[in-house]
Amino acid sequence: MDARMRGAIEPFALTAAIVAAGMAVFYVWLMGQQGNQPLPWVLIGLLAGALLAAYGALWRVRYRRPALVSAVIALTVLGVLGILSIGLPILASGILTLVSLLRPGRHQAL
């Protein structure tokens, strides 16, 4: 990975996207182990949050901030709703996305 690409990716949002996608896979597996079907709205919310966080991990894309705001909302709500089972890692993913949103951009001074 060259220096241009290394600075173009925001690590907190990328980590949040990986965690959210991993939790979607874990959710499907867990529901299968319990003999239940995964709820479609939960799976859609997890995957949408993961995709939006992954999109927001790129510094120079249009609509980065709205994508991150949407990911924060989706992941935080799902994390709070599932806090007694699988919600903690999802909530952590929402918090990581929020940290990414609040970090100054590459063109702003720290």
pLDDT in tens, 95-108: 999 999 998 866 54
Between 56 and 110, whose confidence is greater? 56
What is the distance between the alpha carbons of residues 33 and 85, in angstroms, rounded to a whole number? 14
The β-bridge partners of 9 are 58
- Count of other CB atoms within 10 angstroms of residue 42: 18
pLDDT band at 110 (very low <50, low <70, confident <90, very high): very low
Q: Which residues contact 84 (CB under 8 A, 6 or more apart)?
A: none
* DSSP category for residue 39: P
Q: Please write the tens of the pLDDT for every residue from 32-91.
A: 999 999 999 999 999 999 999 999 999 889 999 999 999 999 999 999 999 999 999 999
Q: Is the dihedral of CA 45, 51, 54, 59 positive or negative?
A: negative
Between 3 and 61, whose confidence is greater? 61
pLDDT band at 4 (very low <50, low <70, confident <90, very high): low
Q: How far is CA 57 from the centre of its chain?
A: 10
**What is the mean pLDDT of the segment spanning 13-36?**
96
